[in-house]
Amino acid sequence: MPQIPTLTAVQLAEAIASGQTSALEATQAYLAAIEKLEPQIAAFNQVLADRAVQHAKNIDAKRQSHQHLPPLAGVPVAIKDNMCTSYGHTTCSSKMLANFRSPYTTTAVAKLEAAGAVVLGKTNLDEFAMGSSTENSAFAATHNPWDTDRVPGGSSGGSAAAVAARECAAALGSDTGGSIRQPAAMCGVVGLKPTYGRVSRYGLVAYGSSLDQIGPLARDVPDAALLTQVIAGHDARDSTSVPRPVPDYTAQLDEPIEGLRIGLPKEFYSEALDEQIDDAIHKAADAYKSAGAQIVEVTLPHSRIDTDEAGQLSSYAVACYYIVAMAEAASNLARYDGVHFGHRTDEPVGDIIELYSKTRSEGFGEEIKRRIMLGTFTLSSGYYDAYYNKALKVRRLIANDFTEAFKTCDVLLCPVAPTTAFKLGEKTDDPLTMYLADIYTISVNLAGVPSLSLPAALSKDNLPIGMQIVGPLFSESTLFRAGRMYEKVSNVARLTPALAAC
């Protein structure tokens, strides 16, 4: 039997169910990988080894007594540390929540465990999921397994790096403006941002409530489809959860889509995009065409990317997103005040206002403070209509563009990021440049539609290049089948960095 870390989640679940290996052996193999690689990667905020081992033993006992095993029985997974769990800490990689213990567990995590998955630990992220590089963490910067001098992307960089380095079989992340897809692309793994409302947000610490969505990061498309199958579905505890049946995402996964119409948004293929990425995605389009797909040009006018005389990029979508997201962030983060829960200053204070001020100054990092101030400004008297209301109107126009595009194609094929993984520290002093790392992903969140990120190629520097397949609302089945089509005709499925534990 191959080394356990070389197996996909689907393969590992089958091996455990058949008795070829055990859940305990799988868990111990991944815990050994974590111990070996964490000094170089820093993907985890907390490793829950004792709990994982006990859970694995329980799975093995069920198998030995011939009890029915659920679909992910014994598969070791990791959870982004902005999802509440009734065990361990939930920190959001922030000093504000460094010692917070949740009294309940996120619905998506509970569903994973009910399906038999073994939670190894909680992964690092940009503080409160606000960032594109996983450098904004209050605890450590996560490193990309393909080149440890580079970022893994963000904000789900810990989850993506852990999957890429084979420190877990799969992981959960969250995506507000690209935070699953961008790190998936930079780490050479598969990531899905589901339709807004497809997966419950109950237990996910809120950043932008109208944008946030939980999704999987995995080795390949079948793994991502299986995890989505498990975590999707209506949840009465989440008012934005959609009461719509969940299709069997794995049933027809390996069947090509006859006459698939793939749209290439002309606004996304410009001088703003790295030439190697442009070339890789057009080669992917050619591969689809050879497999029988039809390639058509479409337009997303309100997601247009412009370049000024100084070479600086700009986009309606970026401006719209950062007004909406920061306004919602300022509102959601108002609860961290030193009174209800979380960090409280030890400094002497004269009144409640001083308590709030010192607590929040100590507990929040610089990027969080920046976003709170910008969000509060856009919601303030005299500016609400000028900025926030106008942004909501632009958001509707962006969503309408996607609706129109899907009248002439089934899915869109787009870049995920304008460049491959950049160097650690390269953009930390220029917040605007960092924000533009999400220039190709944020319009998807504004429209609420699903998007699948998967590897397209390797760059000349041996760094992963990702592409995203975007579909209409609730078209995850189509995205998985389209992604699987490419995996079968390409030679980049299941990319493995040299550093990986296998």
The whole-number pLDDT of residue 314 equals: 72
The whole-number pLDDT of residue 493 equals: 67
Q: What is the C-alpha separation between 338 and 349, in angstroms, rounded? A: 12
**pLDDT exceeds cutoff 90 at 495:** no
Out of 329-333, 350-354, 446-450, 491-495, pick the least confident: 491-495
% of the chain beyond a pLDDT of 90: 90
The whole-number pLDDT of residue 311 equals: 65
Catalytic: 179? Answer: yes
Q: Please tell me the pTM assigned to this model.
A: 0.97
**pLDDT exceeds cutoff 80 at 500:** yes
| pLDDT, tens only, 233-251 | 999 999 999 999 999 999 9
**pLDDT exceeds cutoff 80 at 1:** no
- Could you state, in order of their start, the residue ranges of all structural domains in the chain? 30-52+81-258+421-426+450-489
Q: How confident is the model at residue 502 (pLDDT cuts 50, 70, 90)?
A: low
From the number of C-beta atoms within 10 Å of its C-beta (0-12, 13-18, 19+), residue 387 rates as buried
Q: What is the CA radius of gyration of the chain?
A: 22
Of the listed 132, 155, 156, 475, which one is catalytic? 155
Please state the φ and ψ torsions of residue 446, each to the nearest 5 degrees: -60, -35
Tokens of 199: 């997966």
| pLDDT, tens only, 426-485 | 999 888 889 889 999 999 999 999 999 999 999 999 999 999 999 999 999 999 999 999
Q: What is the mean pLDDT of residues 153-173?
A: 98
Q: What is the C-alpha separation between 288 and 282, in angstroms, rounded? A: 10
The whole-number pLDDT of residue 436 equals: 87
| pLDDT, tens only, 287-314 | 999 999 999 999 999 998 877 666 666 7
Specify the DSSP class assigned to residue 245. Answer: P
Of the listed 80, 111, 122, 193, which one is catalytic? 80
Q: What is the mean pLDDT of residues 16-43?
A: 97
Catalytic: 122? Answer: no
Q: What is the mean pLDDT of residues 104-128?
A: 98
Can the peptide bond before residue 155 be classed as cis, meaning omega within 30 degrees of 0? yes
From the number of C-beta atoms within 10 Å of its C-beta (0-12, 13-18, 19+), residue 471 rates as buried
Distances (CA, A) of 71 to 15, 74, 230, 255: 12, 9, 8, 21
Give 133's contacts (C-beta < 8 A, 6+ positions apart): 126, 141, 151, 152, 153, 154, 157, 422, 424, 427, 428, 434, 437
At position 329, the amino acid (one-letter code) is: A
Of the listed 179, 241, 451, 475, which one is catalytic? 179
**Bridge partners, residue 44, by sequence:** 123
Q: What is the mean pLDDT of residues 182-196?
A: 98
Q: Which fold has domain 30-52+81-258+421-426+450-489?
A: Amidase signature (AS) enzymes (3.90.1300)
What is the Cβ-side half-sphere exposure of residue 212, based on CA atoms within 13 angstroms? 27
The whole-number pLDDT of residue 309 equals: 65
The whole-number pLDDT of residue 310 equals: 64
**Bridge partners, residue 313, by sequence:** 307
**pLDDT exceeds cutoff 70 at 501:** no
The whole-number pLDDT of residue 233 equals: 98
Q: What is the C-alpha separation between 42 and 141, in angstroms, rounded? A: 7
Alpha helix (H) residue ranges in 22-166: 23-41, 49-64, 107-114, 157-164
Q: What is the C-alpha separation between 382 and 88, in angstroms, rounded? A: 44
Specify the DSSP class assigned to residue 199. Answer: B
Catalytic: 155? Answer: yes
- Under DSSP, is residue 101 helix (H, G, I), strand (E, B) or coil? coil
Tokens of 281: 């995605």
